[in-house]
Structure 1
Amino acid sequence: MTSDHNYKITLLSDVSMQSRLFKDSLEKGIELDVHLASLEDLSRVVDGEEAILGDYVLIDYNYFDDTNFELYNQVRLASNMSAKEIVINCPKEVVSSQLFKWRNLVGVFYVDDEIGLLLKGMKKIMQDEMWLSRKVAQDYIEHFRCANTVTTSQAYANLTKREKEIMRLLGHGASNLQIADELFVSENTVKTHLHNIFKKINAKNRLQALLWANNNIGLEERV
């Protein structure tokens, strides 16, 4: 594949023989350099100026738990770049809503996809197309169509003033420490509030709370 653009591509995964082999295969297939970065690399640039994220970011699904996603989100916000996000090694049975935390999702590749299919999809993505299954694409469109017309739910209205402040900051990708600094409280206080919020909105973790916020807080409340 030849390209008029010198795109920067970042692969976020563990640094292993398997990921290096995948990186090499990808580089040969799309004829573009791919930068392999780990979470340790991300953590080093949270407060720095180095632009570690490229125009396209390939995200190893199995590499990201809640904490890792939070770190990635901090780097993404700090870099002020709208990198296009591509999820790889995705379980076939994944619920579509689990993919929507990636705000600039343009492609999803599954664990049993052959490298040839991935290269074909990557070439389409480089041509400004999307590579999503029909179901994921339909769910994605419906999700953001609803998100753009979300009205604030009664469940959000029932939160305390402090809990609403924390939910708004959570929705902007802030960490517990950042929320604590913003509200002039301790990190333990933030954790206590989040625990109470999770019970009220029936969320098991931070990502479920983030998805809940997208579906229950109107745009006018998110400022």
Structure 2
Amino acid sequence: MSATNTHNITLLSDVSMQSKLFKDSLERGIKMDVELVSLDDLDESADETRLSHYVLIDFNYFNETNFELYNQVKLAANTNAKEIVINCPKDVPSSQLFKWRNLVGVFYVEDDITLLLKGMDKIMQDEMWLSRKVAQDYIEHFRCANSVTTSQVYANLTKREKEIMRLLGHGASNLQIADDLFVSENTVKTHLHNIFKKINAKNRLQALLWANNNIALEERV
């Protein structure tokens, strides 16, 4: 293994016997401290920076609610942590992985600990660990994202709706959006309802994916 032992790792998963055993195996293999935390733990310590330079994300642990909570914590911590997805089903479409904005590695359910340690070593050397297909899709995804022209649907949103979409893209919660725009949380919910209707999105994740495909990069900053 490389001698880069200054970076600790956050493992985001449910705190179970299985995840604790995985944490111990990982620590022994990469000679680094791994902190196992649930999103509830992170939420309770939102005033502290609990995310490390590398974040291991248990794919099966992240439903839509957990994904939103994670984004809130990441925003509050003002971190640019590198994200590594583990326990990923082999048949997951690449597009589902690209919601992780700083994705640097993907490990699948059938990958054994030896392969995971090999991949983690590469990641610690500032390389990426992605299958050839995911890597190709990733390049194409960001090539499209960087060359997207703003759709007329977005252009037709009100100024306030555009502000909310921009904050939503940064992972802000309804309360954080309300604070930033000096409006009530109920007002934000009403705006989001109207936005979702206009862009034909059913939830925040669909809205984020829509934004990536329909809003020019310079307008999302």
**TM-score bin (small chain):** over 0.9
SS class of match (2:10): strand
CA distance in 1, matches of 2:59, 2:189: 26
From 58, 61, 64, the equivalent of 1:63 is 61
One-letter identity of the residue aligned with 2:97: L
Deviations 1:46-104 (A, max 9, x none): 2x1x2211111000111112222222122222222221110011121211111111111
Q: Aligned-pair distance for 1:5?
A: 3.3
Alignment of 1:99-118 (within 5 A): 99-118=97-116
Partner of 1:186: 184
Contact 2:148 2:213 in 1 (8 A): yes
Partner of 1:159: 157
Alignment of 1:12-161 (within 5 A): 12-46=12-46, 48=47, 50-161=48-159
One-letter identity of the residue aligned with 2:180: E
CA distance in 1, matches of 2:215, 2:141: 14
CA distance in 2, matches of 1:61, 1:4: 26
Percent identity over the alignment? 82
Deviations 1:171-195 (A, max 9, x none): 1211111112223332222222222
Q: Aligned-pair distance for 1:2?
A: 4.9
CA RMSD of aligned residues (A): 1.6
Aligned residues: 221
CA distance in 2, matches of 1:119, 1:193: 46
Moved more, 131-140 or 115-124: 115-124
One-letter identity of the residue aligned with 1:205: N
Give the unaligned 5+ runs of structure 2: none
Give the unaligned 5+ runs of structure 1: none
Give the TM-score normalised by structure 1.
0.92
Partner of 1:217: 215
One-letter identity of the residue aligned with 1:152: T
SS class of match (1:59): strand
Contact 1:45 1:75 in 2 (8 A): no
SS class of match (1:148): helix
Partner of 1:7: 7
